[in-house]
Every structure is written in C-alpha cells, then in structure tokens.
Structure 1
C-alpha cells in the first residue's frame, strides 16, 4: 500500500490536504478517490487513510484509523560521517535510513573531498532530508531520522550532545570489533571518516572526546560501506 509522509497534525476521522510532494506522488501513481493509502507524520505510528479528492494540484485524504506501530531499532544509533564524494552521500543516507539510523551527521574533515558551506550546504541538507523521507516511505519506518546541518569535525566533537557511548572507526590494530565494543542498549554515536579515513590528529581528538576505537574486521571498506556495516551490526 502506498505510504506518504505528511508532517501535519493527523487525527483519525478528519480530512487532511496532503503536502505538495505527497500530492504529486499520488498523482504520479494514478491513484483514484477511494484508493487506500497510509500516512505518517513522524510523531509515532501511522494512519490508514483513503484518497478523498484529487484536484489539479491538490489531494485530500480521509483519515480512517491510527495504528501505534513502530519499526525502529532496539538501540538508537547516530551516524556521524565524513561526507563521501559524488552521489555516494545520497546512497548512504537512503540506506542508513532503511537500516534504522536515528540521525545522520554530515561532517567535513581534513581529508574530505566534498566541502560544503553556506547556501550550498543548506540545499544539500534539504536534499538529504528528502532522501531520508522517501526511504521511510519505502521501508515502513514511521520516524524520520534527522539529517543535521553540515559541521566541521572539530566543532562537532566540542558541541555534540554526548550519548552513552561513542565509537570511532579506526585502523588501530588493537581496536576491538564493533560488535564487542558496544554493550547494553543505550544510544550510540558511530563516527567514521571520508575516503582515506580520519587523520591521526582527528582520531586523537575523537578519543579525547570519549570515543572508543573499533574495527569492522580485516578488510578496508569504502567510506559509505563502513558506516552502513556498523549500523547493521549495532542494530
């Protein structure tokens, strides 16, 4: 059944005008009045609904009932990643959302190929947030992970709200495997670098900020693959 993110106040038994993106999607799918759909606003659960009216650019839906269903991971996992180049960040955001990331923090590091600031950074963030929304619509999640504003690694390390554990992807030969380093069910922040990884100075700064070095095994993974592999293990 088609699912649409509708970031509005939703009340069973009422009608709602779908936001422009969802309305266009209804029209692209050639749905008709009476077609069943699912709406979610990110505040928990989802609503069974039916398309009520389709205009030239407006679509309204009748909310039938609320279902308190969640499809989140048992542990909150917050990804902080040195932005990979080209379109790989789009792919990372999409897959991280599907795998259950609670939030995604794009970072600029010393070895970053991609460097964003100002209006360009804001536009990219908006684009990545839309990617996360579309991934939630597809995979069934009812809570959309927040894609944070692009930040410099050193500033983020100083200012971030500390979760119960911070894990740092490292090539340190003494680093424990990520599955053995994260214990308990508390929130975890997983930090990984861009292509080429973090510099020694950046790793030292992360350790000083409370991050524990961890490994994903003997193979060297691409920047976008590493973050997703860790998420799959930690979830």
Structure 2
C-alpha cells in the first residue's frame, strides 16, 4: 500500500513529535481514515522527506512522530515562471494543478483586456488561497517536495515589466518560431499564456516592448488550458527533465 504524502507548513526535525495542520489532519483522519500506528511521508518544502508514524488520530487532531529523513530532489533543471491570464472556474484550477505536476516553479494569475474573470480584491485573495491549496495537493500527489509559488493576481503589463534574466516567451498563432527552434541551452523561462479570446493587438505590442519572443505550438487553435499544458510539456522535453 502506498504511504500517503503530507505537506507540513513549518520546518521539520527528525525525532520531533508534531501536530498536523488542520487541512492535513482532516485528510488523514476523515478522508483516509488512518489511525495510530499508520505511516506517513511528510515534506516541508526543503526537498527533504520525513518518515512519520501516527501517534494519535481523531476527528480534531492528528499527532505524528518524525523518524528518518532523506533528501529527495524532484525539481526540473528548467526554472519556469508561468504567467496565466485567469480562466473561468475549474479551467484555472486544472491549469494550476497540471502545471505543478509538470514542474512549474512560479505561477502568476494575470488580468488582461479580454480576461473573462472579473473579481474584486477580496474574491481574488480567496481564489489565490484556494489555488495554493490545489498546488499543495498536486505536490503531495506527484512527488514534488518543493512547493511552487502561487503569486497574487497581477495586471499583465506589470508582470511583463518585471525584471527577469530568463528567456521570455509568448504563444502566438502567427509566430515564426517554434519551441524546437529556440537556441540551447535555456535554464530559465517566463511563459505567457493569454485568455480564451487571445491578447489584444496592443497587448501583443506590449510583450514585444518587453522582449518577449513569439512562438508557435502548431497549426491547430488550442483552448487556453490546453495551450498552457502543451507548451509547458514541450519546454520540459526540450530544456527540462521530461523525455
């Protein structure tokens, strides 16, 4: 039986007895129905994994005793920052979950002219908290031991203007370059994925102003969530650790 992987939000030390976070305890006790004596694997975002045994479990609290520790690096050599114009409902959640599984390091939700999601500041903050929980769950499932950063919502131009030493890419259906024509090596990328209606002409000009390279994925028009995952996969195959 596979040992469940659980994220813990504070640094872990071998030999310590700790109380799991509320979300983790709910998952262990209520969803998995685990009891005292059961084994877990814990990680705290430092690339270390800890074997832990449950010493107490009820519906309100789960205690575990930390045992052995080992380094377990699952990170890609490609540092990838995804700027994703927000999509509606489950599409954005799906994109974040799969981007985490594919090794993205940073995800910034973006607002653009044709963004179909309209949220006030309070709802934006709630969404970001929800997306961070989705990222944690994706790490628990896929084996990553470093949490990707889910940033607060930004306006497209502000994100484009941020300094970055890596290659900047923008997907465009009439681009002249494909991912396979990009020069090697590349170890740092900033990837922009636009909204379902695409970027406006002014926004495309904006990306050019900030030195983004337009790239083409193929002859077919892809939905925004398909575009993000296809591009990330292709970039990880060429520059990262897939394939």
Shorter chain as denominator, the TM-score bin is over 0.9
Match of 1:77 in 2: 80
Counterpart-to-counterpart distance in 2, 1:212 and 1:117: 32
3-state SS of the aligned residue for 2:214?
strand
Match of 2:13 in 1: 11
Change (3 A) 1:182 1:116: farther
Match of 1:219 in 2: 220
Cα deviation, residue 182, structure 1: 5.6
Moved >6 Å (runs of 4+): none
Q: 1:132 aligns with which of 132, 135, 141?
A: 135
Change (3 A) 1:180 1:48: farther
Counterpart-to-counterpart distance in 1, 2:183 and 2:19: 44
Provide Cα deviations, 1:124-159, integer angstroms capped at 9, x if missing partner.
00000100001111111111111111111012222x
Provide Cα deviations, 1:104-143, integer angstroms capped at 9, x if missing partner.
1111111111122311100000000100001111111111
Provide Cα deviations, 1:189-223, integer angstroms capped at 9, x if missing partner.
10010102111111111111111111111111100
Number of aligned residues:
233
Cα deviation, residue 12, structure 1: 0.7
Counterpart-to-counterpart distance in 1, 2:59 and 2:91: 36
Within 5 Å, give how 1:1-235 maps onto structure 2: 1-27=3-29, 28-158=31-161, 160-174=162-176, 176-181=177-182, 183-235=184-236
RMSD: 1.2
Provide Cα deviations, 1:68-104, integer angstroms capped at 9, x if missing partner.
0011112011110111123200111111111111011
Provide Cα deviations, 1:51-78, integer angstroms capped at 9, x if missing partner.
1111341111111111100111120111
Cα deviation, residue 34, structure 1: 1.4
Counterpart-to-counterpart distance in 2, 1:85 and 1:195: 9
Q: Runs of 5+ in structure 1 lacking a partner?
A: none
Match of 2:239 in 1: none
Q: Runs of 5+ in structure 2 lacking a partner?
A: 237-243
* 8 A contact 1:4–1:40 mirrored in 2: yes
Counterpart-to-counterpart distance in 1, 2:168 and 2:92: 22
Counterpart-to-counterpart distance in 2, 1:184 and 1:115: 39
* 8 A contact 2:26–2:59 mirrored in 1: no
* 8 A contact 1:165–1:182 mirrored in 2: no
* 8 A contact 1:166–1:212 mirrored in 2: yes
State the TM-score, normalized to the length of structure 2.
0.92
